[in-house]
Chains A and B, each alone.
Chain A
Amino acid sequence: MRILVAITEVATPDDTIEFSDKSIIESNFTYGLNEWDEYAIEEAIQISESDSDSDSDVISVTIAPPRAEKTIRMALAKGVTKAIRVWDPKLELLPFLDPQLKAKIIAKVVSIVSPDIILTGVQSSNDCWGSTGVALAAEVGFNWATLVTDLELSGDVAHVRRELENGIDELAEVTLPAVFTIQTGINEPRYASLRGIKQAQQKELEVLSFSDLSSDPDEFQSKINFIEFSLPISNSAIQFFEGNPNEQAAQIATIIKDLGFGGG
């Protein structure tokens, strides 16, 4: 069994996000693996570990500049067999990648890797499209199941639990090959062992550009035009309690007691 897992590096802003006309200023960012992709990687590794086929492997794909290699190595340290990173100078000009463009690029990697199943996260915490997995499935003609919180394979069928709204789960069967978008909580992501971290340095991290993926690099065009970034309008109705922690606690308690709780 060959599993492709799409993983992305995300930036967590410390506080306020700064941006210019065309890009986000990333100086005060800390980078890491997208939370949902932690779970997708763990699921991929668990599937490959329980696969009786000893050739079973997990390949990761990431569209990102060289900066992301540290994050990708963490995935390799956890047990991903081989990593692919796609980048192209053309992408430097974009403020972000839209889900259709991501899907188009990853689809090319799918045709090289020929996976049986593809895992993605439900969403990226930076772009928040929540859409790349389904766009990818449609692009490569695979079946798909979103919001997966349990995944069992038997032969060419996957039994999935999908988490819908309001505490309702859907149980469904999907025929492989398929894309699964993995929801948090599906498993307990492992930490990389020291041995894993050492081994990761030796593992292959292949770098591909648009010309490696297509004879027509112009096909990687976005249909989306970026206009501008802005900051959310702040809530003028909120009252902040000032003072030291003791005074702040007293003000909270007053509100709670005034509304008839806490024996006030």
Chain B
Amino acid sequence: MSPILIIAEHRQGVLNTDTFGLLNAGIEFAITLNTEAHVAIIGQNSDNLAQDVNIAGIHKIHTLSTSLPYTHNVYVKAISFLFNKIQPSSILSLHTSTGADYSPAVASILNLPFLPDAIAINYTNQVEILHEMYSSKLHAKIASSLPAIITIRPGAWPNDTTPGNAPIEPIDLDITEEPINFKVKNYEETPIGDVDISTSDLLLSVGRGIGEETNLELIFSTAEAMGATVSSSRPIVDAGWLPKDRQVGQSGTKISPTIYLAIGISGAVQHIAGIKNSKVIISINKDPKAPIFGVSDYGVVGDLFEILPFLIEEFS
């Protein structure tokens, strides 16, 4: 069978480290199909980054160098070109702001099936993936014929690797034309305000379960009593109740405290993406099936408004 093609992810000269999980997913899938795993690195700095993805299990690295920064137009062109050249059995990317920006379009343009956000991949007589629905409360196993365009969940495969020695094959590709329809002007980072939640060891994090803005008093009182820093899930920031620098998660801040106390947070994948490096996770949620319990060390199924007042007492 023809190789599995893995699209490495990088931006502004830096490899996204979740690429290693992606590589492992691709290598595993290639072994199942008894075929080779190839990597493509597209765009600026691809030659410099080629050695970074040269890990055991990879058979070939294609570099498609351009002077253009990442835009989906550049990727769609480059991947379509490579698809026609090596006719892969499937193409794998990360389901990130980058991978999900070009993969659906690649599938449409190549007229191939698209399997998004896989947390597992299997092959019987077709390619099967596991996809989470209903805020992670239901798994759907879906499948398609090969070749398919597949995106995988960042972090769903282990990141560990050992060095390899795959040949690196530069491909001369003419995508130097100005991408006139989409121009990147600038990048900006969320400024850090009065607190830096990424350095706090005890975080008390509040989610939509708090109900109303005035109820945040209860959270701040609890945090004060135990000496914790207050952080939150996204809806609290969207509503303007807390500044953006307090948001934990994929599009907020990744944190690594000793204790993460999640109060009224359901545990959406994009939230969990930011809390995995916490040492101990304690959650309070009234829904026994809340996905946050799936990653917690300790849990309380109950009403936060009944529990927090007692928690304040414990520290007074």
Partner of B104, one of A138, A255, A263: A138
Number of residues in B with C-beta < 8 Å to the partner?
A: 97
- Knowing A131-B114, A168-B189, the reply to whether A227 touches B182 (Cβ < 8 A) is no
* Mask: chain A, 214-245; 1 = CB below 8 Å from B; 0 = not: 00000000011111111110110111110001
Tell me if A134 is interfacial: C-beta within 8 Å of chain B. yes
* B81 on interface, CB distance cutoff 8 Å: no
B96 at interface by CB-CB < 8 Å: yes
Please name all residues of chain A whose beta carbon is closer than 8 Å to the beta carbon of B145 when the two chains form the complex.
223
B274-313 to A contact mask, C-beta < 8 Å, 1/0: 0000001010100111010111111111110011101101
Across the interface, do B202 and A130 meet the contact criterion of CB distance under 8 Å? no
Inter-subunit contact B280/A255 (CB<8 Å) = yes
Interface size of A as a range: 35 or more
Interface string of B102-140 (1 = CB under 8 A from A): 111101110011111100000000101001111111111
Q: How distant is the Cα of A171 from the Cα of B185 in the complex, in angstroms?
A: 5
**Is A146 at the interface (CB under 8 A from chain B)?**
yes
Out of A126, A135, A248, A263, name the residue touching B108 (CB < 8 Å): A135
Asked whether B251 lies within 8 Å of A249 as measured between CB atoms, the reply is: no
Q: Is A137 a contact of B105 with CB atoms below 8 Å?
A: yes
Q: For residue A170, which residues in chain B have a CB less than 8 angstroms away from its CB?
A: 184, 186-187
A237–B293 Cα gap in the complex (Å)?
A: 10
Structural contact, B182 and A171, CB atoms closer than 8 A: no
Q: How far is the CA of A184 from the CA of B249 in the complex (A)?
A: 14
Residue B212 is within 8 A (CB to CB) of chain A in the complex: no
Contacts of B238 in A (CB 8 A): 184-185
Most chain B CB within a 10 A radius of its CB, from A144, A146, A166: A166
- Residues in A with CB closer than 8 Å to B132 are 128, 232
Q: Are B134 and A13 in contact (CB under 8 A)?
A: yes
Residues of B within 8 A of A174 (CB): 181-182
> In the bound complex, how far is the Cα of B297 from the Cα of A240, in angstroms?
9
Chain B binding surface, main DSSP class: mixed
Task: Report if A235-B253 is in contact (Cβ < 8 Å); known contacts: A129-B117, A229-B139.
Answer: no
Cβ–Cβ contact B298 & A241, under 8 A: yes
The answer on a CB contact under 8 Å between A169 and B182 is no
A91 CB to nearest chain B CB (Å): 16
The reply on B152 being an interface residue by CB < 8 A is no
Closest approach, in angstroms, between the C-beta of B82 and any C-beta of chain A? 18
How would residues 90 to 118 of chain A score, 1 for a CB under 8 Å from any chain B CB and 0 otherwise? Answer: 00000110111001000000000000000
Contact with B along A248-264 (1 / 0, CB 8 A): 11111101100111110
Q: Verify B144–A238 contact, CB threshold 8 A.
A: no
- Is B214 in contact with chain A by the CB < 8 A criterion? no
Do B300 and A248 have beta carbons less than 8 Å apart? yes
Check A191 for interface membership: any CB of B closer than 8 A.
no
Q: In the bound complex, do residue B133 and residue A127 qualify as a contact, i.e. CB atoms below 8 Å apart?
A: yes
Given contacts A134-B104, A245-B302, A263-B315, contact A232 B133 (CB under 8 A): no
- Is B1 an interface position by the 8 A CB rule? no
Q: Which of A98, A165, A245, A248 meets B250, CB within 8 Å?
A: A165
Q: Chain B nearest CB: distance from A232 CB in Å?
A: 6
Q: Which residues of A contact B299 (CB under 8 A)?
A: 238-241
Residues of A within 8 A of B251 (CB): 147, 163-167, 183
Is there contact, CB below 8 Å, between B105 and A95? Answer: no
Contact of B202 among A24, A100, A240, A261 (CB under 8 A): A261
Q: Distance in Å from the Cβ of B76 to the closest Cβ of chain A?
A: 8
Given A169-B188, A245-B307, A225-B107 contact (CB < 8 Å) = no
B111, closest chain A residue (CB): A223
Tell me if B137 and A259 are in contact (CB < 8 A).
no
Q: Note all chain B residues with C-beta closer than 8 A to A15.
A: 287-289
In the complex, chain A residues 151-186 whose Cβ is within 8 Å of any chain B Cβ: 162-175, 183-185
The answer on a CB contact under 8 Å between A99 and B184 is no
Q: B140 touching A134 by the CB < 8 A rule?
A: no
For A71, the chain B residues whose CB sits under 8 A away are none
| Known pairs A248-B307, A249-B310; A232 contacts B294 (CB<8 A) | yes
Residue in contact with A128 in the complex, picked from B117, B143, B306, CB distance below 8 Å: B117
Cβ-closest 4 pairs across A and B: A249-B310, A185-B238, A253-B314, A138-B108
| Extra 7 A-B pairs, beta carbons < 8 Å, given A99-B114, A229-B140 | A138-B105, A173-B185, A188-B240, A232-B291, A238-B293, A249-B313, A256-B282
> Could you jot down 30 A-B contacts, CB within 8 Å?
A13-B137, A15-B287, A15-B288, A96-B140, A128-B134, A131-B116, A134-B104, A137-B105, A138-B76, A139-B108, A144-B72, A164-B97, A166-B254, A167-B251, A169-B188, A183-B251, A185-B238, A227-B128, A227-B142, A229-B139, A230-B138, A238-B299, A239-B299, A240-B300, A241-B299, A245-B302, A249-B307, A252-B284, A255-B298, A261-B202
